[in-house]
Amino acid sequence: MWLYLAVLVGLYYLVRWHRERQVVSHLRDKYVFITGCDSGFGNLLARQLDMRGMRVLAACLTEKGAEQLRAQTSDRLETVTLDVTKTESISAAAQWVKERVGDRGLWGLVNNAGISEPSALNEWLTKQDFVTTLDVNLLGMIEVTLSLLPLVRKARGRVVNVSSIAGRLSIIGGGYSISKYGIEAFSDSLRRELAPFGVKVAIIEPGAFKTNMNNTERILLNVQAVWDRARPEIKEIYGEKYLASYLKLLSSRLLPECKENLSEVTDCMEHALTACHPRTRYSAGWDAKLFYLPMSYMPTFLGDTILTWVLPRPAKAL
């Protein structure tokens, strides 16, 4: 019995391996629009797809970021400035894309733009702190997607949304995890809606990688700034000792564990765009696969215990 089971499992993975190696034809004729290309995953993916010969339309927040990207790529790659929090900027970018792709449509839309700040304990933050993150990571992504869906549908193409393992397991306060949970929900419903049109939707769930969002000094300054403007009663409840221990934990244990090999993530994005049979979800990084994802299926009390045992105690905790 066990032999038959082993054979079946082996055949399953063999068939899966064969399916996932099949590549879409005529990649050099296909256009891909990527948001958040100033740095990080978006920047590397734009260069990676350009090297593969695809028609990359890269959206950058700043003209400086666009100039630097153009200097590193071929003449095929084109850039546009885009602020995903502004409707007029999204509309202009959508029209710009439409003029370039024409009747061929847009093969790939990669929603990569995102921020992680302000982030800290929820009680330290204000409503506007949450709004700031959600505007970029979730609402901006939704508006970009809705603006470009007619072009993606025309090409029977792909939508690739960059979530995070924080969309499976909330590990930090603020709007970041909330936005990533929202991306998961939006992507799931979008995938089912677009399936009849031949459009595939994939979700990328990276673990901890070293990008501008995970810059240690920047994050520590952000947490300190949030604490400095927190209400007096909050500072009294938690205490300065808690803040010092929290900052030390971030700088000495959590942030240094971020991985530098961003290609682990962009390879997943590329596969989602170029494979005939892309996956629905891609977990990038050993921590995502072996720690955070399994933990998201654990009993709640056990996951809470593991995630909180290293945290300091508030001054006025019971």
Per-residue model confidence as pLDDT tens digits over 271-285: 999 999 999 999 998
Residues 298, 177: Cα–Cα separation, whole Å: 18
Indicate the fold that domain 22-210+261-298 takes in CATH: Rossmann fold (3.40.50)
pLDDT tens digits in sequence order for the chain, 318 residues long? 777 777 777 777 777 776 777 888 899 999 999 999 999 999 999 999 999 999 999 999 999 999 999 999 999 999 999 999 999 999 999 999 999 999 999 999 999 999 988 889 999 999 999 999 999 999 999 999 999 999 999 999 999 999 999 999 998 889 999 999 999 999 999 999 999 999 999 999 999 888 877 677 788 889 999 999 999 999 999 999 999 998 888 877 666 567 788 999 999 999 999 999 999 999 998 889 998 999 999 999 998 898 888 888 898 886
Give phi and psi for 60, each to the nearest 5. -120, 150
Sign of CA dihedral 300, 251, 39, 41: negative
Element (H, E) at 303: helix 300-308
Residues 297, 292: Cα–Cα separation, whole Å: 9
Looking at residue 307, its pLDDT comes to 84
Annotated catalytic residue 176: yes
| Exposure string for 304-315, b = 16+ CB within 10 A, e = fewer | eeeeeeeebebe
Over residues 206-262, the pLDDT tens digits come to: 998 888 776 777 888 899 999 999 999 999 999 999 999 988 888 776 665 677 889
Among the options 4, 31, 176, 238, which is catalytic? 176
Residues 110, 45: Cα–Cα separation, whole Å: 10
